[in-house]
Each structure stands twice: as structure tokens, then as C-alpha cells.
């Protein structure tokens, strides 16, 4: 069995079944938040089209669509092209007249190629090895460093707007306990698939259909206030930082989350690079329009995920052209992939991506970093031979292979006038997958189909229990995405710890446990606030399991005593007293209750 078949067999289980998800249904709530007034508004149509099948009609647009430079033939190109027509006829010559692909695979030996040997096995690492409970694992991602940034930045903004409120208590400062409880409520609401519902329906319990955990944790008014005021940087020096970085409003939090993702888990051998589109229609200078996506308008985020577990290793929001300075960088597909894969360089892992990223130069660059690459490639690339492009004369279900020392190119014809082009630096033969039957798909294509799912799986998991609420501020949209991904990553670690122990819980139960542990300290604190309604305090104590301390009873030195309500003004004595507090009370200020009411009091 070839090396590629061995790796494919190990990955034969459908990665989409590794985690459970359910369809989401929720009501829309109109946006209620303020927007950053200084943000410019643009919509950029993205060219991210990942269709794997190339149509014969694109050949007429080949020169116009080429995104890696236009090349013209010269004398050398004509001379190289003659190789194809020579007696040997062992090469396919690419459209650039320079790149050549052998028609026969290179000779193989019995040894496994070094590029197919994975150095590190997947699993938790660092502090994640010792943490076993749901909340302990989750706190590794949302630790005190991130919470403190949010608390400090939010309080700075609250201090700025306090003068707009008539009462000081309506704009009081927040703290880490309240911010954690706020995030816990987001998870709880998302678990119930109510993230887009009107908040009033979640807090209003006049008809018994509200969420008790919500109104016991904080009031609806306070929750709305926190959504409005939540910030992730110091707004006082933001204008200066925005001169150098469009992501200044959330840069520090983004880097902390990325560091957590990379330091707590070792991903599997197959990684997927793709893009997310986070639904957003507010003012933003880098909002994207992708008509093929369900949301169509939103923020584009590039991600690298484990194709089996959907664990996210690294994220990079797309912000267009950055101002000159330390954050200025290329936005080409090749450079984006090279930045995303930096944490796994030298590990012999495979990277799978679609045709927006793929080029021969990228595959060879990854090869120098000890990473293999498999991805569809666009037909307008100059390094492709014309024989590999869609053609009306191609036999249906046929495959055409081209080989170099460190790369393999395949063109598969699924139907008339169509072709699927895939480039691989992990496969070195022309093997056909027998399990595909009459489809006769090459091993390279079946491997690509199995490993391209990583980011798509991540999107589905995020949508199932989404914490995102309608917002006009793009930093909030990114923060909601960070929360979704952190919970998924924490659940991946929890599953690894529970593997074989029959203790793994469903993801919905995992999120409910995390949300409860986040809101519990806030409920306990509110149960001791005497200014709150008695019923709120009573229900809070029941929920957190706190019992009222018994009031010490007065020693009865005689058979009669003065009523503590009437006082000395009436000087009314009585033989009765309250069974709860032990104070003397006359008949006017003492109520008789039945045995059942007394026992349940």
C-alpha cells in the first residue's frame, strides 16, 4: 500500500461526525447598539471563489484572470515547448513555456518518505494536560489576562459616558466577576439557540417564559448597558494606534487568543486553511461582499483548523491594505497561508486549501518548511499545461497526471466540459481510489475531499450554538467569533481527556456547565444585596444553594413580653412570639399559618 493510501485510511472516518451539531432556528432582533462614528464605511467584493470544478468557458478569460502575472512567449519558451513534440514526448509543458511536468511518476522505494512522517501526535499540551473539568479547561482560553483587558477598557469607556446618565448607579463600573457572568449568559443564550431573540423575551418572566438564570444574574438593562460599553482597548489612545493598525480596537485580544490556541493543543496531521465570513452590515472599511456565502456581507477571517476535530490553531482577520508600519503585510493567498502555518512549521503536517490560495510557488515554499500541501488550483495559473484544462474532447471520468520531483498535478474530468485540478506535494503516484467505483477518482482528489472540511466544520459548530448578537460594531463581531472558537477548542481538549473513559458529555451540556460556572459567582453576590427585591434574593440563594442563617432567638426570661412592633409607646404585652426570630409579637402583628405553610416557609 502506498504512503498516501496509508494516510488516507487513517483519516477514513468522516470528520463531520466527530462532533455533534443540530440545526439552529432563532428569531431576529433589530440591532440596538451604537456604532463607532469614526469608522469609514466601504464594501469590497471578494474574489474568493472556491469552486473546484473548472469550466471550459474560463479559458477565454485566462489572460485577464491570471493573478500571478502575465507572461509572454520568447525564444526560450519556443525552444522548451519543442520538447513536447520531440521523439521522447515525456513532458507536459505549461502555458508559461518553462514549467515542465513528467508524464510518468518518479521511481519509488519501500521506505516511507520523510515528508509523510508526522513528528508530533495530537492532544492537549502545556497547562491543558492537567485540567480536566469543563470550567478549568475553558478558563485556560479566557483567562485573567483577557478579562482584565476587557474590564479596564470597558471602565474607561463607562467613565467617558457617565455624564449622560441622571443616576450614577445606571452607569456603574464593572469588574471581572460581572464580565465573566456576562460571557456566561452569552453562552447560555447561545446554547438555547436564542442569540438572535429579543432580550425582553428572555428577561420577562411575567408569564413564566423567561430565563431565570438571566434575570437572577443581572437585569436586562444592565445586560444591554454592558453590550453597549464593552471595549477591548483604551479608547483614549486608539486614534494614534489606528494610524498604524486597522485592527487597533481588538489587536491585543486577538493576539492573546491566538497564543492560547497554539499553546494548549497539538493539532492532528491534517490541517485546513480557509476563510470564514462573519455576518456584519455595519460601518467598516474592510467589510466584504461574497455572494456565494449565506450572509453575503461580513468580515472575512482566515483560519487554520484541524480537519478532523475542528480545533482552530490560528486566525487572521482580513482588513485590506494596512497603513505603512509594523502591521503592513501582503494579502496574497500564498503569504496568508505562510503566516497561518507558522506555528506548525517543521512538523511534516499536510495543509489543505482551496484554489484561492493554491499555486506551485506556495506548495514549494511549504516544502522548504517541512509541510506538504494539497489543494485545488485555478485553471488560469500559468504553471498548468493546456492538456490539463477543461476540454470538450476529454473522456468523462478520466484522469491526467503530471509529476515533478516534489509535486504532483492531476486533472480529473467529472463530466463534459469540466475538470478538477488538484496540486499535491504529498502524493507521488497516479493511484486511483478503488472505493469510488465507476467515478474512478484519483487518490489525491479523495484525500482532498476528506481533509478540506476543517473550517467548514468550524463554521457549522459556531452556528449551532452561536453567541453572536446583532451588532453595529465590528470589534464585537470578532469577539463573538473568538468566544465561539474558544468554546469549541475547549470542548476538543475535554473530549481528548474523556476518550475511553465514557465520561464525555455532549457539547450542549458542556456549554451549559461552562455558562453556569461563569454566572454562579455573580448570582451568589446578588443574593446578598439587600436593596434587591426579596423574591430575587430568595431565588438566587436557592439556585446557588445558600441557606439563610438563622436569627439568634432572644432568651425568654418570663411568660410575657412587650410586642417589638408596638414598642414602648403602647406598652402592649403578649404571651406569643415569632417562631422564626424569637421576638415577642402581639396578635395584631402575628399571623397564624397552617402546618404545611409553616414547614415550607
pLDDT single digits (tens) 470-521:
999 999 999 999 999 999 999 999 998 887 555 678 999 999 999 999 999 9
Closest CA to 40 of 326, 328, 231, 320: 320
Provide the grid cell at 274. 480557509
Closest CA to 51 of 379, 399, 298, 394: 379
Assign residue 593 a region: left if phi > 0, alpha if psi is -120 to 50, beta otherwise?
Answer: beta
Query: Could you report the per-residue pLDDT of 243-289, keeping only the tens digit for each?
Result: 999 999 999 999 999 999 999 999 999 999 999 999 999 999 999 99
Residue 147 sits at φ, ψ, to 5 deg, of -60, -40
Contact 472, 31 (CB under 8 A): yes
Provide the grid cell at 422. 488538484
Provide the whole-model pTM: 0.81
Query: Could you report the per-residue pLDDT of 423-455, keeping only the tens digit for each?
Result: 999 998 899 999 989 999 999 999 999 999 999
Provide the grid cell at 384. 498548468
Query: Could you report the per-residue pLDDT of 111-129, keeping only the tens digit for each?
Result: 656 666 666 678 899 899 9
Provide the grid cell at 488. 469549541
Provide the grid cell at 471. 451588532
DSSP string of 10-24, one letter each residue: HT-S-GGGSS-----
Contact 426, 373 (CB under 8 A): yes
Query: Could you report the per-residue pLDDT of 138-175, keeping only the tens digit for each?
Result: 999 999 999 999 999 999 999 999 999 988 889 999 99
Q: Indicate the helix (H) or strand (E) that contains 537.
A: helix 534-544
Give the single-character DSSP code of 129.
Answer: G
CA separation for the pair 280, 294 (Å, rounded): 12
pLDDT band at 50 (very low <50, low <70, confident <90, very high): low
Burial of residue 45 (number of CB atoms within 10 Å: 0-12, 13-18, 19+): exposed
Report pLDDT for 392: 86
DSSP string of 283-329, one letter each residue: S-TTEEE-TTSSS-EEEEEEEEEETTT--EEEEEE--SSPPSSTT--
Beta bridge partners of 300: 277
Q: At what angle do helices 474-498 and 454-464 cross, to 10 degrees?
A: 100
Amino acid at each position: 500500500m502506498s504512503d498516501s493510501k496509508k494516510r488516507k485510511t487513517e483519516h477514513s472516518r468522516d470528520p463531520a461526525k466527530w462532533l455533534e451539531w443540530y440545526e439552529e432556528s432563532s428569531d431576529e432582533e433589530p440591532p440596538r447598539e451604537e456604532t463607532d462614528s469614526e469608522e469609514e464605511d466601504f464594501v469590497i467584493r471578494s474574489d474568493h471563489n472556491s469552486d473546484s470544478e473548472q469550466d471550459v468557458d474560463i479559458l477565454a478569460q485566462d489572460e485577464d484572470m491570471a493573478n500571478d502575472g502575465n507572461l509572454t512567449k520568447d525564444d526560450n519558451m519556443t525552444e522548451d515547448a519543442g520538447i513536447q513534440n520531440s521523439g521522447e514526448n515525456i513532458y507536459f509543458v505549461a502555458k508559461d513555456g518553462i514549467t515542465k511536468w513528467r508524464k510518468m511518476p518518479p521511481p519509488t522505494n519501500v521506505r516511507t518518505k520523510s515528508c509523510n512522517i508526522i513528528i508530533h501526535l495530537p492532544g492537549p499540551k502545556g497547562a491543558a494536560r492537567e485540567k480536566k473539568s469543563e470550567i478549568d479547561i475553558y478558563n485556560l482560553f479566557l483567562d485573567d489576562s483577557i478579562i482584565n483587558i476587557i474590564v479596564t477598557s470597558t471602565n474607561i469607556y463607562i467613565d467617558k459616558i457617565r455624564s449622560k446618565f441622571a443616576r450614577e448607579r445606571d452607569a456603574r463600573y464593572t469588574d471581572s466577576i460581572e464580565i465573566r457572568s456576562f460571557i456566561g449568559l452569552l453562552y447560555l443564550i447561545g446554547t438555547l439557540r436564542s442569540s438572535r431573540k429579543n432580550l425582553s423575551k428572555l428577561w420577562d418572566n411575567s408569564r413564566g417564559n423567561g430565563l431565570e438564570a438571566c434575570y437572577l444574574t443581572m437585569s436586562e438593562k444592565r445586560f444591554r448597558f454592558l453590550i453597549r460599553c464593552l471595549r477591548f482597548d483604551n479608547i483614549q489612545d486608539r486614534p494614534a494606534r489606528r494610524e498604524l493598525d486597522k485592527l487597533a480596537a481588538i489587536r491585543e485580544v486577538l493576539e492573546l487568543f491566538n497564543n492560547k490556541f497554539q499553546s494548549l493543543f497539538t493539532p492532528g496531521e491534517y490541517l485546513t486553511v480557509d476563510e470564514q465570513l462573519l455576518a456584519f452590515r455595519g460601518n467598516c472599511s474592510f467589510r466584504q461582499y461574497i455572494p456565494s456565502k449565506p450572509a453575503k456581507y461580513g468580515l472575512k477571517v482566515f483560519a487554520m483548523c484541524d480537519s478532523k476535530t475542528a480545533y482552530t490553531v490560528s486566525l487572521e482577520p482580513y482588513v485590506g491594505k494596512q497603513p505603512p508600519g509594523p502591521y503592513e503585510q501582503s494579502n496574497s493567498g500564498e503569504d496568508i497561508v505562510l503566516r497561518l502555518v507558522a506555528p506548525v512549521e517543521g512538523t511534516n503536517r499536510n495543509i489543505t486549501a482551496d484554489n484561492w490560495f493554491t499555486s506551485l510557488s506556495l506548495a514549494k515554499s511549504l516544502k522548504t518548511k517541512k509541510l506538504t500541501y494539497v489543494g485545488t488550483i485555478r485553471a488560469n495559473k500559468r504553471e498548468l499545461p493546456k492538456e490539463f484544462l477543461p476540454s470538450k474532447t476529454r473522456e468523462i471520468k478520466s484522469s491526467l497526471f503530471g509529476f515533478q520531483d516534489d509535486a504532483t498535478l492531476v486533472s480529473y474530468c467529472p463530466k463534459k466540459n469540466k475538470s478538477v485540478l488538484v496540486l499535491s506535494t504529498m502524493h507521488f503516484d497516479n493511484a486511483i481510489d478503488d472505493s469510488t467505483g465507476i467515478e474512478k477518482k484519483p487518490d489525491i482528489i479523495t484525500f482532498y475531499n476528506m481533509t478540506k472540511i476543517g473550517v467548514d466544520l468550524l463554521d457549522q459548530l459556531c452556528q449551532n450554538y452561536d453567541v453572536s448578537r446583532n451588532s453595529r460594531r465590528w470589534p464585537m463581531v470578532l469577539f463573538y467569533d473568538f468566544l465561539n472558537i474558544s468554546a469549541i477548542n475547549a470542548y476538543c481538549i475535554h473530549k481528548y481527556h474523556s476518550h475511553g473513559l465514557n465520561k464525555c458529555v455532549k457539547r450542549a451540556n458542556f456549554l451549559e456547565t461552562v455558562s453556569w460556572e461563569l454566572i454562579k459567582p455573580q448570582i451568589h453576590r446578588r443574593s446578598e444585596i439587600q436593596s434587591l427585591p426579596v423574591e430575587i434574593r430568595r431565588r438566587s440563594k436557592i439556585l446557588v444553594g445558600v441557606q439563610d442563617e438563622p436569627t439568634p432567638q432572644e432568651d425568654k426570661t418570663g411568660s410575657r413580653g412587650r410586642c417589638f412592633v408596638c414598642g414602648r409607646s403602647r406598652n402592649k404585652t403578649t404571651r406569643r412570639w415569632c417562631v422564626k426570630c424569637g421576638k415577642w409579637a402581639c396578635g395584631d402583628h402575628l399571623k397564624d399559618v397552617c402546618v404545611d405553610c409553616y414547614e415550607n416557609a
